[in-house]
A and B are shown apart, each in its own frame.
Chain A
């Protein structure tokens, strides 16, 4: 078994390429949070305490729009639900870890560290998985905090950034996150219905329209998935089918 320190370093090293993609987001997050009116300490505190990229971005947008607290919390919950799948996937890996380490691992569970650790687990099994995860997650966590702080300072120095249209930078960031997924009928329909429903519901208070619109989009997506499954099944596409 390799010594723990080398596993820690291996985890950090394998995570480095992923920080190239997320570091700009940390800077943009810090800048936008301050431009949206949050004190720099709040932007950094969010990265330290919450540590969930997309939920942090969306919450800043909601705070700026005067959303109610339960709406922000519920949106955070929904946005992060995918992490339950990661939590379930890593459960067998972490079965023998002490409770405190499992709790810390849960706190540090992100898309990126999950991807790195899951790949390592498939290749090498559970041996040395804990120090490897700690190396990956700690590196990713510190990187996220440091670059959030730098972004917050930039935003603070140029306090006129909001008037320069940084509200648009957030929209552009979200659009760029969604667009690559729009390559099949279902996600396109989800985007179109959720977007139109949100526009129709924007008069609702506390950004409640956002939650409702997202629900409408998800329902449309689920309906299209189940329809596709029916038409794809062999019974529906028999050789005698006149189509």
Chain B
């Protein structure tokens, strides 16, 4: 395993541990302003959407909003199933099957 990969993992450990240890280890001297807590609530949706949407609407960098784009159709199906049922695994499996079928047929 390469040095870069070890560095990646160790850096991720440091970043994660510092946050988790913040109050538990370093005590109550830390305080979060309410505005920061509110902003944090938006982080997961923002980051995940920033990854998903470009890959769905422009796989390989080329904008493709047609229904023949398996990435777009698959993402919409995954999102719709999860949105309606909240069942992540079902959403992933069904959308992956549709994606595979489209790849194979088109």
**Which A residues form the contact surface with B (CB < 8 A)?**
21, 24-25, 28, 38-39, 41-42, 45-46, 49-52, 54-56, 58-59, 61, 63, 69, 72-88, 90-91, 94, 99, 102-103, 105-107, 109, 164-165, 167-169, 171-183, 186-187, 190-192, 194-199, 202, 209-210, 213-218, 221-222, 225
Known: A49-B10, A87-B22, A198-B53. A168 touches B74 (CB 8 A): yes
Partner of A49, one of B13, B38, B75, B82: B13
User: Looking at B14, B22, B27, B30, which has the most chain A CB atoms within 10 Å of its CB?
Assistant: B22
Could you tell me which B residues sit within 8 Å of A by CB distance?
1, 4-25, 27-28, 30, 32, 35, 37-58, 61, 63, 70-71, 74-75, 78-83, 86, 88-89, 91-92, 95-96, 99-100, 103
Q: Does A180 contact B83, Cβ atoms closer than 8 Å?
A: yes
Distance A138 CA – B79 CA, assembled complex (angstroms): 32
Q: How far is the CA of A83 from the CA of B15 in the complex (A)?
A: 11
A91, B28: Cβ atoms under 8 Å? yes
- Decide yes or no: A81 and B19 within 8 Å by CB, A87-B24, A171-B71 being known contacts: yes
List the B side residues contacting A45 at CB < 8 Å.
1, 6, 9
Q: State in angstroms the CA–CA spacing of A75 and B100 once bound together.
A: 30
In the complex the two chains form, what is the Cα distance from A177 to B43 in whole Å? 13
Please name the residue on chain B nearest to A86 by beta carbon. Answer: B20
Cβ distance B97 to chain A, nearest Cβ, rounded Å = 10
| Whole-angstrom CA separation of A136 from B58 in the bound complex | 42
Give chain B residues whose Cβ lies under 8 Å from the Cβ of A38.
Answer: 5
- Cβ of A120 to closest chain B Cβ, rounded Å: 16
Q: Which residues on the B side are within 8 Å of A55 (C-beta)?
A: 12, 16
Contact A76 B74 (CB under 8 A): no
Interface of B: prevailing SS: helix
| Residues of chain A lying within 8 A (CB to CB) of residue B71 | 168, 171
Docked complex Cα distance between A168 and B74 (Å): 8
Identify the closest chain B residue to A225 (Cβ): B38
Given that A45-B1, A213-B50 are contacting pairs, would A186 and B74 also be in contact in the complex, using a CB cutoff of 8 Å? no
Contact A91/B50 with A175-B78, A180-B83 known, Cβ cut-off 8 Å: no
The minimal Cβ–Cβ distance linking A124 to chain B, given in whole angstroms, is: 19
- Which residues from A are CB-within-8-Å of B89? 24
B82 proximity list for chain A (CB < 8 A)? 175-177, 179-180
Q: Which residue of B lies closest to A79 (CB)?
A: B47
Task: Decide: A169 and B96 in contact? CB cutoff 8 A.
Answer: yes
| A94 CA to B46 CA, complexed, in Å | 32
Q: Contacting B56 at CB < 8 Å: which of A175, A179, A202, A216? A: A175
Docked CA distance A77–B19 (Å): 8
Of B11, B25, B74, the residue contacting A72 (CB under 8 A) is B11
In the bound complex, residues from chain A placing their C-beta under 8 Å from that of B8 are: 59, 63, 69, 72-73
Of B21, B54, B61, B88, the residue contacting A176 (CB under 8 A) is B88
Residues of chain A lying within 8 A (CB to CB) of residue B22: 84, 87-88
